[in-house]
Amino acid sequence: GAGVSQSPRYKVAKRGQDVALRCDPISGHVSLFWYQQALGQGPEFLTYFQNEAQLDKSGLPSDRFFAERPEGSVSTLKIQRTQQEDSAVYLCASSFGVWETQYFGPGTRLLVL
Amino acid sequence: AQSVSQHNHHVILSEAASLELGCNYSYGGTVNLFWYVQYPGQHLQLLLKYFSGDPLVKGIKGFEAEFIKSKFSFNLRKPSVQWSDTAEYFCAVNADRSATNKLIFGTGTLLAVQP
């Protein structure tokens, strides 16, 4: 079936603007992860959902970052009052079960000016 | 805290050369280990994984990796690379049976294969 999709693929924001990044996981996948990948770095964990429950948000860098998955499928990562250091690729991954292989989406490249 | 080190940031090889990319992790407990690959313009995809059993793991496209517990290493190998192997390779680890399956990634190795 279809893979993980993310939108928008690219986002340019002015500093201080709020942004919302969307992730559509593979149908039936219970687990959903968000990662942040800065330029020249590997992905870093942000948060994890099992169905609609956010079980781990230890990687969110500040209270400006907020994620939700209200119906246990689509997830949104929101960043309030964006800062230049938020510029990165935001990756979403989903898996059938928490210990199954994570399938990654193409990412959203966020540039904050 | 867990961490992953990839020793080579950039590797340039000619076609048919052998490849070995180093990966070391720091974690004292049982771990699961992964290699992901990102081809130009594509998303991250799983190359191979180790959970338990035979420490020599075979993945897609002729890649393999060996888990050496005593050295905390999980090096990726391929006997003969092709131009199409040009990509960025990421080693990742998670703590076995932690609360969540969050992956800790290395910084990646950019491999360029010259025809």
**How many Å lie between the alpha carbon of A8 and the closest alpha carbon of chain B?**
15
**Maximum C-alpha span of chain A:** 38
Poorest-pLDDT segment among A20-34, A60-74, B26-40: B26-40
The answer to whether the Cβ–Cβ distance between B107 and A33 falls below 8 Å is no
Question: Which residues touch A82 (CB under 8 Å, ≥6 apart)?
Answer: A13, A14, A15, A16, A17, A18, A19, A64, A110, A112
The answer to whether the Cβ–Cβ distance between B99 and A56 falls below 8 Å is yes
- Please list the pLDDT of chain B residue by residue as tens digits (115 residues): 778 999 889 999 999 999 999 999 998 778 889 999 999 989 999 999 998 899 999 999 999 999 999 999 999 999 999 999 999 999 999 876 566 788 999 999 999 999 8
Q: Which one of A41, A59, A91 has the shortest CB-CB distance to B107?
A: A41
What's the mean pLDDT in A24-46? 95
What's the mean pLDDT in A84-104? 93
The answer to whether the Cβ–Cβ distance between B104 and A45 falls below 8 Å is yes
The answer to whether the Cβ–Cβ distance between A48 and B46 falls below 8 Å is no
- Given a cut of 70, whether residue A1 has pLDDT beyond it is no
- State the CB neighbour count (10 A cutoff) for residue B3: 12
Q: Which one of B43, B101, B103 has the shortest CB-CB distance to A105?
A: B43
Q: pLDDT value at position B100?
A: 76
- Given a cut of 70, whether residue A56 has pLDDT beyond it is yes
Q: pLDDT value at position A34?
A: 98
Q: pLDDT value at position B99?
A: 66
